[in-house]
Amino acid sequence: MPRIGVFIETREGRIKPAMSGVITAARGPNHELYGLVLDGRAADYKAQLQAFGIHRIVDVASPTGPLGWNPDTWARAIALAMREFGLEALFGLTSAMGKEVLPRIAAILDAPLLMDCLRVDVEKRTAEKSQFSGKTTGVFKLNGAHCLYGMRPNVIEAIPAPTEAKIDAFQAPVTEGALIVEALRLEASRGVDLTEAEIIISGGRAMQNGDNFRILRECAEVLGASVGASRVAVDAGWVPHSMQVGQTGKTVSPKLYIACGISGSVQHFAGMKTSGVIVAINTDPKAVMMQHCDYGIAGDLFEVVPILTRQLKASLNHG
């Protein structure tokens, strides 16, 4: 029975929504699934993890208590847990946190790792991911004692598979090494990271300035969405780089992506083309984005978005 681990990412005492899809991807015939929790709250997550098919929850800590955030100690602790429980594969998210932790584990174990996977076959040890700015999809074979997979958030639909989970405590004998985390600056941090958002509304050149992003934020609030931007808007200094979607920004795959005043460069598509549903709002019906969307409205975003916000508010209140 293959034992498969899942690195469970949490934020402020909650399992990140995108984790359910990752657990779904890790399931398979006869797989015994291990959920590795590092924030010291494993017991709180039991109901949710067993609902998606986790059989054993491993509460990973140091001998002196929970491990504070340090990607280096976390990676060493998880690598030790993988050996302790005989895990032959590990799944995680290709999120900001996953990008810090998964490659470090792979480096420690000298194990193969594929990040940003769109699909994984655990038995065949193959996985697919985008290559060359999303213009091609590569199929890869992983060879090694342990295989690591970072899933692109939201690409696998989460399907419940209830089971009964047991909690194991694992004290990893790790202490802070050469890499020290001195402080965390989260004051600038706003809500859900774009890479994990289920709905994103983004603005491009047509936004004209940073203040106008308020229109998008108002709509985002109603939808529970995150706000993104094209490179043009970031390079112009209207919004910070952490909001950039695209080749040199973030790769996202929300279930709904609303592109406002974004023409649709190759580089922007590279960052959002695997989104579930794409909506384009653009004055130019011939814009590339309008031709590669699911639904398009040819119109001025300054007119369309406020109406959308108002109608969504009314519709969701009555829904």
Return the residues of window 52-71 that contact other proteins according to CB under 8 A: 69
SS3 222: helix
Contacting residue, 83, 166, 190, 214, with other proteins by CB under 8 A? 190
- Among positions 11-50, residues that touch other proteins (CB under 8 A) are 11
Q: Verify binding: residue 159, other proteins, rule CB under 8 A.
A: no
Contacting residue, 14, 83, 135, 214, with other proteins by CB under 8 A? 135
Contacting residue, 141, 166, 209, 284, with other proteins by CB under 8 A? 141
| Residues 107, 285: Cα–Cα separation, whole Å | 48
Q: Verify binding: residue 318, other proteins, rule CB under 8 A.
A: no
Going from the C-alpha of 289 to that of each of 235, 284, 304, the distances in angstroms are 20, 10, 16
- Among positions 281-300, residues that touch other proteins (CB under 8 A) are 285, 290-299
Contacting residue, 72, 81, 82, 213, with other proteins by CB under 8 A? 72
Q: Verify binding: residue 85, other proteins, rule CB under 8 A.
A: no
Contact 131, 137 (CB under 8 A): yes
**Is the Cβ of residue 43 or residue 266 nearer to other proteins in the bound state?**
266
Contacting residue, 12, 30, 64, 110, with other proteins by CB under 8 A? 110
Which amino acid type is present at position 168?
Answer: D
What b/e string do you get for 102-126 counting C-beta neighbours within 10 Å, with b at 16 or more?
bbbbbeebebbbbbbbbbbebeebe
- Among positions 192-211, residues that touch other proteins (CB under 8 A) are 192-196, 199
Strands 126-131 and 295-298: unpaired
Strands 113-121 and 147-151: parallel
Q: Is the dihedral of CA 167, 172, 178, 182 positive or negative?
A: positive
Q: Verify binding: residue 315, other proteins, rule CB under 8 A.
A: yes
Q: Is the dihedral of CA 231, 233, 234, 239 positive or negative?
A: negative
Question: What track of x and - describes contact with other proteins for positions 218 through 257 (by CB under 8 A)?
Answer: -----x----------------xxxx---xxx-x---xx-
Going from the C-alpha of 1 to that of each of 33, 118, 123, the distances in angstroms are 10, 25, 11
- Among positions 115-134, residues that touch other proteins (CB under 8 A) are 115-116, 126, 129-134
SS3 280: strand
Q: Verify binding: residue 186, other proteins, rule CB under 8 A.
A: yes
Contacting residue, 63, 143, 237, 318, with other proteins by CB under 8 A? 143
**Is the Cβ of residue 261 or residue 296 nearer to other proteins in the bound state?**
296
Number of residues engaging other proteins in binding (CB under 8 A): 101
Minimum gap (Å) between residue 55 Cβ and other proteins: 27
| Residues 262, 66: Cα–Cα separation, whole Å | 44
**Is the Cβ of residue 57 or residue 200 nearer to other proteins in the bound state?**
200
Minimum gap (Å) between residue 279 Cβ and other proteins: 7
| Residues 212, 219: Cα–Cα separation, whole Å | 12
